[in-house]
Structure 1
Amino acid sequence: MTATFETIEADFFRFTTDIVWCTITTVDTDGRPRSRILHPIWEMVDGRPVGWIFTAPSPIKARHLAANPVVAFSYWSPAHNVVQGEASTSWVPDAATKKHVWELFTTTPPPLGYDLTTFGVTGPEDPNFTVLRLDPDRVQVLDAAKAAGNFTPTVVRLGNPA
């Protein structure tokens, strides 16, 4: 089923907030995938969902994203609620956005928000505070309680962000 983001927005934010941890898969230059567990916080920016991740640009991750900036992301709960999608990524260089993301992580209640200083960064100006932005172009949501035996997710195609 294809829909608009508004039709899945409440479930998208409820599931990503409740599940918290997300599997992010990058692809290397030989087409091999590599998955890792990361912790995005999502918000609406200019009418679109945008994910923010505090994550180090490790050599493998940085190489993968330089070669192919599109990732797959997946959330799953034991209740079989699922959010999946694909997103274009970009490293955030500007101070204003990094400050916004810092405040988002440090003011959002746990477990979604948390104290970033526990990872050795002192603030948004710290050079080790690196932020990865996710701009989804496809999102699918499945609310298992509403599925009633039909596990077909609701799919939204957002297109590339302008």
Structure 2
Amino acid sequence: MTTSFGDIADDFFRFTAEVVWCTITTVDGNGRPRSRILHPLWEQVDGRPVGWIVTGRTPIKVRHLAANPVVAFSYWSPAQSVVQGEAVASWVEDLDTKKHVWDLFMTTPPPVGYDLRQFAAPSHDSPDFDILRLDPDRVQVLDGADFGVNFTPRVAVLKL
């Protein structure tokens, strides 16, 4: 069932905050996928989800995203609640956005937020503080609590 993001936003944010860790899949220039587990922090900007991932610019991620900036993301809970989607990923370069993301992670309660100084960098302006921005164009939510009654996902298609 296709719907607006506003109709699924509460479940999207609830499930992603409960699961925390997300499988992100990139694709290289030869069409070969690679998945990894990452820790996005999501916020709603102008009615749309925007994801932030503090992650290293590994050679594989850099090559994959240069060849194809579209990623797939997936959250799954043992209660069978699922969030899946596709997003355009882009490296964040500007210092104002890096400061915004730093503050989001540092002020959001754990387990979604955490002290970046322990794992990422000493400050937002550190040269090794790398961030991926996720701009979804499709988000799918499935509430495991509805499993016995309705197991049809709700899908929001977003214009980029």
Alignment TM-score, normalising by the size of structure 1: 0.96
Structure 2 residues without counterparts, runs of 5 or longer: none
| Aligned amino acid, residue 157 of structure 2 | R
1:28 is matched with 28
Q: Contact 2:15/2:82 (CA < 8 Å) preserved in 1?
A: yes
Whole-angstrom CA distance in 2 between matches of 1:110 and 1:15 = 15
1:146: how far off?
2.3
1:123 aligns with 2:123: yes
Partner SS, residue 104 of structure 2 = helix
Aligned length: 160
What SS does the aligned partner of 1:62 have? helix
- Give the direction of change, closer, same or farther, for the CA distance of 1:120–1:132 in structure 2 (3 Å limit): closer
Provide runs of 4+ in structure 1 moved above 4 Å.
none
Query: Which residue matches 1:109?
Result: 109
Give unpaired runs (5+ residues) of structure 1. Answer: none
Q: Is the 8 A contact 2:81 2:142 kept in 1?
A: yes
User: Contact (CA 8 Å) 2:54, 2:120: kept in 1 or not?
Assistant: no
Cα distance in 2 between the residues matched to 1:21 and 1:120: 16
Please name the residue that 1:73 is paired with: 73
The corresponding residue for 1:155 is 155
Take 2:147 and 2:156, find their aligned partners in 1: how far apart are those partners?
Answer: 17
Distance in 1 (CA, whole Å) between partners of 2:91 and 2:77 is 28
Does residue 144 (structure 1) correspond to residue 125 (structure 2)? The answer is no
